[in-house]
Amino acid sequence: DAGVIQSPRHEVTEMGQEVTLRCKPISGHDYLFWYRQTMMRGLELLIYFNNNVPIDDSGMPEDRFSAKMPNASFSTLKIQPSEPRDSAVYFCASSSSTAYSYTFGSGTRLTVV
């Protein structure tokens, strides 16, 4: 298995633009998580899905952020419009409720200028 795959690895965009981050979880995992990591706030859980259904989105900072999981093999995190304070590393992770294997992707480093 190739692990959790995130794209792009790096994204530089101008303030006000729409940004879409993508994640392919490990096949067979029924949980998917989106995290944001910054120096000031550490690792924050933004939202997580179980069997493609959003379970808890209380960590999503504001309405500019949205996440979808249209099927078991793909999820997106969208920021519209982006702001400089959204600059961070965004991680996707997937897990299996039966096997307790929790795997992170390599992250997307987002810079909003």
Binding site for another protein (CB under 8 A): 31, 33, 42-45, 48, 50, 55-56, 89, 91, 93, 95, 97, 100-104, 106-107
Is 44 or 66 the residue whose CB approaches another protein more closely?
A: 44
CB of 105 to another protein, least distance (A): 9
Classify 42 as helix, strand or coil.
strand
Total residues found in the chain within this entry:
113
Is 27 or 97 the residue whose CB approaches another protein more closely?
A: 97
Closest CA to 64 of 74, 54, 77: 77
CB of 61 to another protein, least distance (A): 16
Residue 16 main-chain phi, psi, to 5 deg = 95, -15
Is 50 or 66 the residue whose CB approaches another protein more closely?
A: 50
| Integer Cα distance of 79 and 72 in angstroms | 22
